[in-house]
Structure 1
Amino acid sequence: TGGVYPLVGWFANPVAGSTALSKLPAITFSVQWANYGSMTAWTGTCDASGGVPTITTVWHLVRTGSQYSWDHMLTNSDV
């Protein structure tokens, strides 16, 4: 806690001329938690319907050390 960790990411606007019924900006970003031996990546969309910009993502965290071999990767979602 209290550390500074660089965030790297990308942003993509909906493709011009797309005929898709739903068009949302796509985002992805990641952080390497150096002294914890883990990394997290988030991928999702930004929706401003209702006047409140909301980022919805799925995230994956991988860690170098764990109690079990199957427990090195975690996945969840955030709004």
Structure 2
Amino acid sequence: MFNSSEKSDQKTTEDILKTVYDALEEKGYNAIDQMVGYILSGDPSYITGHNNARNIIRHIERDDLVEELLRAFLKK
């Protein structure tokens, strides 16, 4: 049985990507390059700890990130 507040606290992949992107931008990084580095290597040091971004992005498997990005790209 799921707790309704537990389910509502979960972020979507899109929300997580936006949060991480914003944190990287705020710290002055090229967010796209950093996120690509993380997705390709799996090295969390590509993602800043600012605003808990490094922990947040770990909630999603990298292959799921690639799937989500490919789906979004092909929809356009």
Category of TM-score, reference length = shorter chain: under 0.3
With normalisation by structure 2, the TM-score equals: 0.21
Richer in helix (by share): 2
Richer in strand (by share): 1
With normalisation by structure 1, the TM-score equals: 0.21
Which of these two proteins has the greater Rg computed from alpha carbons?
Answer: 1
